[in-house]
Structure 1
Amino acid sequence: MSVTEVHRYDIDAVRASFPALAAGSAHFDGPGGTQVPQQVIDAIAKALSEPLCNRGAHTVAERNAEAVVVEARRAFGDFFGADPAGVVFGRSSTQLAYDFSRTLAQGWNPGDEVVVTRLDHESNVSPWVQAAARAGAVVRFAGFDPESGELRPEHIQDALSDRTRLVAVTAASNLIGTRPDIPAIARLVHDAGAVLFVDGAQYAAHASMDFTSMGADFLTCSAYKFLGPHLGVLVASPDRLEGLDPDKLSASTNSVPERFELGILPYGVLAGARAAVDFWAQLSPRGTGTRRDRLVDALSAVESYEEALLQTVEGGLKSLDGVNVWSRATVRTPTLLVTFDGHDAHDVRDHLATRGVDAGAGTFYAREASRVIGLGDRGGLRLGLAPYTSIEDVDRLLVALHEYLR
């Protein structure tokens, strides 16, 4: 399928919503953080321009704050197909992983085991390694296939035992895009009597997520990875949250999910995050049904559009001499890690920047994954597609690469 054959997605209308694109750069830096639509900016400004106070029901300011939080939880409940009462907000997904690692580790004993993977971003590794060390638990690393980049269920199975208490795994690699089979992994983890903690930060901007069918016990993401402001979100079942006792102020509420949210929530950011979810919903080609229905439809359209665009990028890269693409998994996000024979990826990145093409180079906190595939601690050039990436952006990228390599 070519990009021009994807009729369900109006890229020009999408791009018109992003004021940052007027600066003229072609953005392939989405895996590190996406640009923000005007609707998100407006929602933040609106929330902060109206009366706000601590949440309550007595004054206009209190009611405004309460409404912002309630609406944000409902929005992310729809985004993840989850119960809004199981939506926890935090500063970032890294912060939430640390908070929950400390809380979950309260039930670990010396000799218990925790499984992390070599594919993951460090934010879903270090919190568990450090919590395990404090509890006297053993850490087991699950590997992945260095040639294909696949993390298969058997890689997790090989690391499980009857002492496994938790498995942490990514839903999509931030380095090479690999999307492991989370439902299959969840079944193995639960059969072993363990808990599954999934990092969905790189998945959420490219495909619809259904918390129930994924089978995760905890799922995190960062709104700034999918068109929103900087905000961490964690999803779990309310019943599971009820069974946890986090450190918190004695005077703060013990209600779920609020007992996990330390201090006052950032109301402006929450309003912007809710607007990001609504922006996704309005991308639905059908434009009918519940917000959840429209989100699923929209992300299906985005996935098809990005897949067609990815084929164009990959075809262009194959036409260039000395280019090595390390994103090879059968199922993956539109994130490519590329190296160049005889050229440092960091130098290529610098050249692209002079041509108004924004990309990143390095290991992006996935150093173990880079080492497994043989790129050590230098990594490569990361090219990520986003919902606002155009065919013109791709042409500009390929021309700039051809110019450099020539």
Structure 2
Amino acid sequence: MPFDIARTRAAYPALTEGFAHFDGAGGTQTPQSVIDAVSGAMGTALGNRTPAFAPGRRSLELVDAARAAVADLLGAAPRGVVLGPSATALTYTLARTLGETWRPGDEVVVSRLDHDANVRPWVQAALAAGATVRWAEFDPATGELPAGQYAELVGERTRLVAVTAGSNAVGTMPDVAAIAKTAHAAGALVCVDGVHSVPHGPTDLASTGADFLVTSAYKWSGPHLAAMVADPARWESLRPAKLIPSSDAVPDRFEAGTPSFPLLAGVAAAVDHLAGLDPTATGDRRERVRAGLAAAQAYEESLFDRLLAGLADNPAVTVYGSAARRCPTVSFRLAGWSPAGLAAALGEARLCLSSGDYYAYEYFRAMGLRETGGAVRASVYHYNTADEVDRLLSELHTLARRRETMGR
């Protein structure tokens, strides 16, 4: 059945303000069910985790429920779900932990397509260990990250390959499974940044080939928390820096300090929201999440095709990237406008788009765009509409004519 956009939008109270949110790649709006879960937990007696009394047991239950929800989202085991404040923080924890085992002459492979959160932690850990960093390059014309180059980049001294499953700048979805196969053949581990890919379609940890996969809940309608998943046995083999009295169990040993229990309630509610995107879906939550995200993906792709066609029809627009497989995200420039100025002008029209480099530092530096302001990014999410796409395209034509007139 067709994706019920009216039903979906009704779940998000913020959408009644009338803004068109094309900034989902930087963070999505929040459904009422998530708001209710967070506020409900905050209004309930909670204690630090302990089985000794009911408020402490509630906190234990909230942690377990969040792990189970993320496991259902990603096809992981609940014991393999490490929770944390952000994808950046979790990646730094992993990089420091693995980096302690690296030696001079070891190698790590990173990509210039990635968000800096899946680049800089590995570069810095390699520097501290005296290891060598090798770079995978993207095609500047298409934004593709050719998987074939990894055969030359990965060798017997490679300890880790870090790669994105979806570029937050131009949407490219590399062949992560092929890259992981090459890495594993050499005995290397693979860390996949799923922050931008997970919101836009079903994800299965095993199918990606990732040893570690990280995601951020606020990119898929949840609160500002993140999770990194792996096989529990993989976590068992690692010894992160931690406080002596804190739990040494897996996955707890990777989680420093006391978590935000109300926000964890929001994580579980956000996964439930995704599981309800297709009201005809049946089965357990994992099956319903996959169905819901598949339905949303098909809807988003139809909107994105409309957006790309409209951008191509505007001679003042320069679009960056044209990968064959991509998330519904595009970066572009409008002739005569700086990226920041264009984003501000669109904001005046109640159209929310990001500008700059969005932490895709290596991409914009390689393209020679970072020094002049980067680009403007439009990211489609499952609450956007065709009318909103048309509003954006119309406003871009208006702004192009305005600048052309001013230049005469």
- Provide TM-score, normalisation by structure 1: 0.97
Which one of the candidate residues 50, 64, 81 is aligned to 1:56? 50
Which one of the candidate residues 211, 218, 222 is aligned to 1:217? 211
Shift of 1:162: 1.2
Which one of the candidate residues 236, 252, 256 is aligned to 1:242? 236
Partner of 1:391: 386
Q: Does 1:111 align with 2:112?
A: no
Which one of the candidate residues 396, 399, 402 is aligned to 1:404? 399
Partner of 1:3: none
3-state SS, counterpart of residue 314 of structure 2: coil
3-state SS, counterpart of residue 107 of structure 1: coil
Distance 2:376 2:71 in 1: 35
Distance 2:170 2:12 in 1: 26
Tell me the amino acid that sits aligned with residue 379 of structure 1: G
Shift of 1:382: 0.3
> What does 1:133-152 correspond to in 2, within 5 Å?
133-152=127-146
Shift of 1:353: 0.7
3-state SS, counterpart of residue 162 of structure 2: strand
Runs of 4+ in 1 over 3 A off after TM superposition: none
3-state SS, counterpart of residue 158 of structure 1: helix
Shift of 1:285: 4.0
In the TM superposition, what whole-angstrom CA distance separates every residue of 1:69-106 from its partner, at most 9, and x where no partner exists? 11111111100001010000011000001111010111
Partner of 2:94: 100
Quick check: 1:285–1:297 contact (8 Å CA) kept in 2? no
Q: Does 1:130 align with 2:114?
A: no
Shift of 1:287: 2.5
Tell me the amino acid that sits aligned with residue 189 of structure 2: V
Distance 2:375 2:151 in 1: 30
Q: Does 1:371 align with 2:359?
A: no
Distance 1:390 1:343 in 2: 26
In the TM superposition, what whole-angstrom CA distance separates every residue of 1:81-132 from its partner, at most 9, and x where no partner exists? 0101000001100000111101011110011011111001111111011111
3-state SS, counterpart of residue 161 of structure 2: strand
3-state SS, counterpart of residue 265 of structure 1: coil
Which one of the candidate residues 336, 341, 344 is aligned to 1:342? 336
Partner of 1:299: 293
Distance 2:107 2:342 in 1: 42
Distance 1:352 1:308 in 2: 23
Shift of 1:374: 4.1
Shift of 1:161: 1.6
Distance 1:393 1:286 in 2: 26
Quick check: 1:177–1:335 contact (8 Å CA) kept in 2? yes
Tell me the amino acid that sits aligned with residue 273 of structure 1: V
Which one of the candidate residues 376, 389, 393 is aligned to 1:381? 376
Quick check: 2:356–2:370 contact (8 Å CA) kept in 1? no
Quick check: 2:141–2:321 contact (8 Å CA) kept in 1? no
Shift of 1:62: 1.1
Partner of 1:27: 21
Tell me the amino acid that sits aligned with residue 71 of structure 1: A
In the TM superposition, what whole-angstrom CA distance separates every residue of 1:139-162 from its partner, at most 9, and x where no partner exists? 111111111110021132221121
Q: Where does the alignment leave 5 or more consecutive residues of structure 1 unmatched? A: 1-6
In the TM superposition, what whole-angstrom CA distance separates every residue of 1:257-306 from its partner, at most 9, and x where no partner exists? 00111111110110001100000001124221010100111111011001
Q: Does 1:275 align with 2:269?
A: yes
Partner of 1:204: 198
Tell me the amino acid that sits aligned with residue 382 of structure 1: R
Partner of 1:354: 348
3-state SS, counterpart of residue 22 of structure 1: helix
Distance 1:347 1:54 in 2: 47
In the TM superposition, what whole-angstrom CA distance separates every residue of 1:202-225 from its partner, at most 9, and x where no partner exists? 001101110011110000011111
Which one of the candidate residues 86, 90, 105 is aligned to 2:84? 90
- Provide TM-score, normalisation by structure 2: 0.96
What is the aligned residue count?
Answer: 400
3-state SS, counterpart of residue 205 of structure 1: helix
Tell me the amino acid that sits aligned with residue 262 of structure 1: A
Quick check: 1:32–1:225 contact (8 Å CA) kept in 2? yes
Q: Does 1:16 align with 2:13?
A: no
Tell me the amino acid that sits aligned with residue 21 of structure 1: L
Distance 1:35 1:331 in 2: 25
In the TM superposition, what whole-angstrom CA distance separates every residue of 1:301-337 from its partner, at most 9, and x where no partner exists? 0110011001111121122122111130000000010
Tell me the amino acid that sits aligned with residue 201 of structure 2: A
Q: Which has the higher mean CA deviation after the structures are superposed, 392-401 or 236-245? A: 392-401
Q: Percent of aligned pairs with the same residue? A: 46
Partner of 1:4: none
Partner of 2:405: none
3-state SS, counterpart of residue 389 of structure 1: coil
Aligned-pair RMSD on alpha carbons? 1.1
